[in-house]
Amino acid sequence: MSITTNGTNGKASHTLHAYRVDGLGQRQSNSHQERVEEIFGADVFSERVMQQRLPKDVFKRLQRTILHGEPIDAALADIVAAAMKEWALERGATHYTHWFQPLTGLTAEKHDSFLTPDGHGGAITEFSGGALVQGEPDASSFPSGGLRATFEARGYTAWDATSPVFINRNGGTATLCIPTAFVSWTGVALDTKVPLLRSMDAVSEQALRILKVFGTDQGVTRVLATAGCEQEYFLVDRAHYFAREDLLACDRTLFGAKPPKGQQLEDHYFGSIPTRVIAFMSEAERELYRLGVPIKTRHNEVAPGQFEIAPIFETANVASDHQMLVMETLRRVAARHGLACILHEKPFKGINGSGKHLNWSLSTNTGVNLLDPRDETHTNMQFLVFLCAVIRAVDTHADLLRASVASAANDHRLGANEAPPAIISIYLGDMLSNIVEQLEKGGAKSTIKGGKLDLGAHALPQIPRHTGDRNRTSPFAFTGNKFEFRAVGSSQTVGWPATILNTIVADSLDYCATQLEKKVGQKFNEAKLQAAVRGLLQQIIKKHKRVIFDGDGYTEEWHREAAKRGLPNFRESVAALATLASKKNIDLFKRFRVLTRQEVESREHILLEKYIKQVMIEAETALVMGKTQILPAAIRQQTELAEAVAATAAADADASEARNALDAYIQTVNHLRNAIATLEEAVNGDHDGEILVHAKHVRDHVRPAMNALRDAADAVETCVASDLWPLPTYRAMLSIK
Ligand code: ADP
Ligand code: MG
């Protein structure tokens, strides 16, 4: 067996052509990007713009900051800020803001005008290097999970030069946005960006050790985590959205009887896109292009009214910032088309929910995708080390991966008979599964080939066949030259799951590198290396193959089989989140300097708190709607039925059937009344106590009472005259045209 690797002399992997990543978070300007900028006039202070507008030496020094994290001095910052200001003013910007991602799951911004009084009754525009590099927002109203008392309100935002500055246009104004990290005045990370950047450092450092062992590290200074996020979403007519308090307050329907036409006909997926929707999509895409977000794909999704948008992948940090812009832009542009964009994981009961597939890989700064198996995969030992490191990471830290996607909203997907299950497993496909089997026996000797598909008609070409089918049911699937983490929820920020992924893989690469370094020693020796790799991979596969599963993840058999294999199955989020700050996990985050104990504990706290708040808002909304809309409608219907019985009897006709119908209906309404009372009790019994106890109360008492109320209300809906029903129905909302 000879060793071929993803060496630096090899050609860059084909997937990296469009956006070659050449440094921490910075895309190499290339012809594609230039074309996009020509067509759409990008509002991005891109590398190209910098090159045009900055003195050569300043540009070079800034590149060194971006690529190698060199500190920025005040003089340099002043020059860059002045150039940014000029550029922004030319493009109509009036204000600037530090743009950051606190632990709310949203972005935050506080605008300052460029205008400053000149002391002589006039005004000048001003933007100093100091204002570019550091901000000081009052941080006391952002979630901190106990990290910062309100009397320590000071927080800092710090410019993240690795993510491009952009101009946000909204409501007729333009604002210069500077992506920043957000920390407390004691330096504790209060956002999603700081840990993500730290985790990228960690995985880079460990991956470089592996490249060094294989001697493929020449010219490589950094390994970058790359991410491409497919966003699923629903569209409903804006009039319907505003007519429903549940959509307004919770972004999901808390009531609604099943429509006769759901997704049975399977006619929506990849179907032709309705005119109003495609007009919305293309406008959203244009805005995103202008912001530098490389949108690529759009299509109808499985459920009626459901769609998807996906960009070309970028370095994880930039992809994560851009993903926030995607969510924001979809929402904003939808309004202009009389639509509302719903990002919730499960807006409609009985209809598929929405996810956000996080495609993830590792790439050298020279553009080599380290998860590209190449043709003769069995000989590509370096790839196999990276592959097995991921397998080991996912098995060892399945709890963390599960916790990284836990939320009240995602509970409606994971573990609820929907894609994907809450059990974390890896799908490898036929070719890799076969190689893994060979490796377990001590060494791989062959690679299954896909061959050609003959379509049986002369006019059609023979097409190459993949070596494995797709598997839509796996939470974590190898898809050709990257992994796809499918359990991520549609409304989530991807920064957090990406942080976890980078960290757990860093841990595994550390393990592999240590083993190999020990066995191979300082001097490169191919025979020794081969033997060491074979031994390592065999041992990893023996220990962790339980996490590999290529079958149907929806089935009951898999749940039984997974239990037999000892795989954790956190069906709901409270249990999953409670594992976040375990000793194993705190040690892991500390070891790779991604999060301190305090920072892990605060995140567990914030996520549990969010769970509680989200469910309680839903419960209170359900009560208001139940009491002021649904029950009154039900009673009007009851009155009509009763009047019909009385009128029928008064007319001396046989009223017995009408009377039976009335009696049966009164039962249905009584169920509704009781269900309201039960939910009210559960909500009033909500107590503050210890956060985990509180979350469990909400899970065990409030949620079931909400579900029961929904069932009762949906039963009433099917009996009430449509002119009496106060809410837009599923039938109406899901037929978006
Ligand atoms: P599918 O629907 O089959 O999963 P899509 O084309 O919709 O495929 O999405 C695939 C996503 O994966 C895109 O965003 C793509 O840019 C991204 N991707 C491709 N290669 C990589 C990579 N090396 N690292 C991260 N993401 C990648
Ligand atoms: Mg996908």
The string of pLDDT tens digits covering residues 338-352 is 999 999 999 999 988
Query: Beta-carbon neighbour count of residue 78 at 10 Å?
Result: 18
Flag whether pLDDT at 535 surpasses 90. yes
358-387 pLDDT, tens digit per residue, is 999 999 999 999 999 988 888 889 999 999
Q: Is the CB of 313 under 6 A from ligand 1?
A: yes
Cα–Cα distance for residue pair 331/354, rounded to 1 Å: 15
Look at 468 and 213; give whichever has higher pLDDT: 213
CA of 414 to the centre of ligand 2 (A): 17
The per-residue pLDDT for range 699-711, each reduced to its tens digit, is 999 999 999 999 9
What's the pTM?
0.91
The DSSP 8-state label assigned to residue 369 in this structure reads B
Going along 423-486, which residue ranges are E strands?
A: 426-427, 452-453, 463-464, 476-478, 483-485
Averaged confidence pLDDT in the chain: 88
Q: What separation in Å is there between the alpha carbon of 698 and the centre of ligand 2?
A: 33
CB 227 near ligand 1, within 6 Å: yes
Q: 3: pLDDT confidence band, cut at 50, 70 and 90?
A: very low
pLDDT of 21 reads 39
Name the E strands within 205-283: 223-237
Q: Give the number of the ligand closest to the Cα of residue 369.
A: 1
Considering only CA atoms, which of 553, 708, 565, 710 is closest in space to residue 630? Answer: 710
370: phi then psi, degrees, rounded to nearest 5: -75, -10
pLDDT for residue 442: 87
Q: What is the pLDDT of residues 28-67, one digit of tens each?
A: 445 666 665 555 547 999 888 999 999 999 999 999 888 8
Atom of ligand 1 nearest to the CA of 15: 20
For residue 136, the one-letter residue type is E
Q: Is the pLDDT of residue 569 over 60?
A: yes
Ligand nearest to the CA of 313: 1
Say yes or no to pLDDT of 496 above 80.
yes
Confidence of residue 735 (pLDDT cuts 50, 70, 90): confident
Please, which residues bridge with residue 311 across strands?
295
Listed range (117-121, 559-563, 667-671, 715-719) with the worst mean pLDDT? 117-121
The rounded distance, in Å, linking the Cα atoms of 195 and 405 is 16
**pLDDT grade for 445, boundaries at 50, 70 and 90:** confident
Average pLDDT over residues 443-468: 68
- The 10s digit of each residue's pLDDT in 473-489 is 899 999 999 999 999 99
**How close is the Cα of 359 to the center of ligand 2, in Å?**
7
Spacing, Cα 480 to ligand 1 middle (Å): 10
> Does residue 138 surpass a pLDDT of 80?
no
CA of 44 to the centre of ligand 2 (A): 27
Q: Which atom of ligand 1 is nearest to the CA of 312?
A: 16
The pLDDT score that the predictor gives to residue 36 is 59
Would you say 615 and 607 are in contact if contact means Cβ atoms under 8 Å apart? no
Q: What CA–CA distance (Å, rounded) separates 93 from 525?
A: 59
Which pLDDT value is given to residue 453?
56
Decide if 307 contacts 334 (C-beta within 8 A): no
Burial classification of residue 566, based on how many CB atoms lie within 10 Å of its CB (0-12 exposed, 13-18 middle, 19 or more buried): exposed
User: With 80 as the cut, is the pLDDT of residue 181 above it?
Assistant: yes
Cα 371 from Cα 368, distance rounded (Å): 9
* pLDDT at res. 522: 75
Note the pLDDT of residue 12: 30
Of the segments 455-459, 517-521, 590-594, which one has the largest average pLDDT value? 590-594
Can you tell me which atom of ligand 1 is nearest the CA of 357?
A: 4
C-alpha span between 160 and 166 (Å, rounded): 13
Q: Determine what percent of the chain is predicted with pLDDT higher than 90.
A: 69
| pLDDT of 187 | 82
Residue to mutate, 230, 323, 369, 387, ligand 1, most ligand atoms under 8 Å from C-beta: 230
Q: How far is the CA of 695 from the centre of ligand 2 (A)?
A: 32
Q: What is the pLDDT of residue 279?
A: 94
pLDDT computed for residue 687 by the predictor? 74
pLDDT, residue 28, reads: 46
**In the predicted model, is pLDDT for residue 22 greater than 50?**
no
E strands, 389-467, where? 426-427, 452-453, 463-464
Model confidence band, residue 1 (pLDDT cutoffs 50, 70, 90): very low
